[in-house]
Amino acid sequence: MTILQTKGLTKRFQGVVALSDVDFELEKGEIHAIVGENGAGKSTFVKLLAGIHNPTEGTYYIDGKETLFSSPKEAMPYIGLVHQDRELIPHFNGYRNLFLGTEISKIGFLDNVSMKEQCNIIREKFNLNMDLDKPVMELGTGQQEMMTILKILFRHPPILIFDEPTASLSMQESEILFSLIRDLKTQGFSIIYISHRLPEVLSLADRISVLKNGKKVITLDNKGITEQQLISYMISKNLENQYPKVEKEIKETIFEVKDYSYEKENLHKLNYYVRSGEIVGFAGLVGAGRTELNLSIFSGQGRNTQSIFMEGKPFCSSSPKESINNGLVMIPEDRRGQGVIVGMSIKENVILPNMKALTNKGFINKKKIDSFSKDIVSRLSIAASSDEQQVRTLSGGNQQKVAIGKWLDIGAKVWIFDEPTQGIDVETKSEIYKMLGNFAKNGAGVIFISSDLRELTEIADRIYVMCEHKITGEFSSPFVENDILTNMIGVEK
């Protein structure tokens, strides 16, 4: 039985066609995945369904009835959208978040007892284990994700949309989520699942629809489909090597950390090194301490002149600026919040760290700036109408390219990449892997933090494993994934 159907769904923004003539069907009790590159139209499609945008042309039907929601509030009883960016108020506890806008009161005062009771009933119904009394900001990423889902389930809409739900979850947290989604299917919910992670799509979905350039390419029953086949539909060509290896020569140690401690992040006597021409991976579950370790070194928060060495000399940094000046660059996990300034153009973003080289005696050299900016866009194949385009309007993959492009001509000796491919399509991922390889080929050391063990084992030359803020293992290629996983979860062999 079809619960949702779209016909000729089209959306134009200022002359740009974001979605074109899309026909789509969702069956009751089905998990229907939607895949495609960044900018393929996936987000526009679900925003039309959820009442965030109105279609330029076309319509959709719920239970056979033509429906067009004029606002998200109007769509709420029918469609629950679990955003990639969790819509929770950090300082509110769980039940205050769940009842936001629909609070129960008695004689003008919040009835906390009644709200707690109702929250516990719905939590137990869906077998979700979380502390509803804690402020949301004190919960881990997995718990926050479950809280977001519980907030949607509280309204019991028949159609659920998950948009990149595992982007910031550990493997264990992802498995809990997958179990919940399968359980929701058995309870009769109809689910649209959007993800760039093709293995989880193939594991979960009953059917898969592919979008490209705003159009639906094909809908497939998930029977014997391979990742390679999906990729060929997504990019209209075979991506024979998803994980390109760049030939490079590994030389002497360029960056070394000895007995490094930083009490604030519970880091004690940690040791690792990176050689020139080497890509060193950092594996571990979310919260294992990988980001905290490398960020504290880059930011200079854990300043210790006796612990860090660049090219054999003490590396003494008290700020990110000082680290950059001394050859250490970090591309952060939160690219929108920390990697780029979304309200500025591509040009403004990429020239910011390079102003000294682009000015003459304190005066801006417009020709130099224009040439420099256009060169970065060309070198990184940033998909944009021009370098004047605002970064907020770019896809996630192109925003990541801007975050990297700022530092291309700084002359970095060591690059730290924190989850650089998170939420990015397969073709752009491949381009980023090539960038990492080329930085190493040119003599830099590369630190590659990732929660995707497969990409680490394919791209890294060595891998350090962290668990509970300790380095629990060091592995060299060829890698045995089970050994790495054992270290990640803290089980001794």
- The pLDDT tens digits for 69-93 are 988 889 989 999 987 666 788 888 8
User: Which residue has better confidence, 185 or 364?
Assistant: 185
Residue 375 or 302, more confident = 375
Mean pLDDT of 255-278: 93
Supply 182's token pair. 């399968």
Greatest Cα pair distance, the chain, in angstroms, is: 74
pLDDT for 84 equals 66
Q: Which residues of 206-218 are buried (b: 16+ CB within 10 A; e: fewer)?
A: bbbbbbbebbbbe
Contacts of 229 (CB under 8 A, 6+ apart): none
Q: Which two tokens stand for residue 99?
A: 């009842």
Q: Report d(CA 355, CA 396) in Å as an integer.
A: 25
pLDDT digits (tens, 9 = 90+) for 115-173: 888 888 877 777 777 778 888 888 777 778 778 888 888 888 999 999 888 876 777 77
Decide which of 190 and 105 is more confident: 190
Closest by Cα among 291, 299, 295, 332 to 420: 332
pLDDT in the model for residue 429: 87
For residue 236, the model assigns a pLDDT of 61
At residue 493, the pLDDT reads 44
Phi and psi at 171, nearest 5°, equal -60, -40
Q: Mean pLDDT, the chain, as a whole number?
A: 87
Walk me through the domains of the chain, giving residue ranges and CATH numbers.
2-235 (3.40.50.300), 253-488 (3.40.50.300)
Question: Each residue of 295-349: pLDDT tens digit?
Answer: 999 998 866 657 899 999 999 888 999 999 999 999 998 888 888 998 999 999 9
Query: Under a CB-based contact definition with an 8 Å cutoff, are residues 362 and 446 in contact?
Result: no
Distances (CA, A) of 329 to 339, 390, 391: 11, 24, 21
> Looking at per-residue confidence, does 384 or 16 come out higher?
384
Q: Which residue has the higher pLDDT, 171 or 375?
A: 375
Report pLDDT for 204: 95
Q: Which is it for the CA torsion 430, 435, 441, 445, positive or negative?
A: negative
pLDDT computed for residue 252 by the predictor: 97
Mean pLDDT, range 442-452, rounded to an integer: 94
Asked if the model's pLDDT at residue 491 lies above 60, the reply is no
User: How many Cα atoms within 13 Å fall on the side-chain side of residue 56?
Assistant: 14
pLDDT at 422 over 60: yes
At 8-61, the pLDDT tens digits run 999 987 767 889 999 999 999 999 999 987 778 888 899 999 999 999 999 999
- Greater model confidence, 225 or 39: 225
- Quick check: 381 pLDDT over 60? yes
- Pairwise CA distance, residues 380 & 159, whole Å: 39
Inter-axis angle of helices 396-405 and 366-379, to 10 degrees? 130
With a threshold of 0.85, does the pTM exceed it? no
Q: What sign has the CA pseudo-torsion 125, 131, 137, 141? A: negative
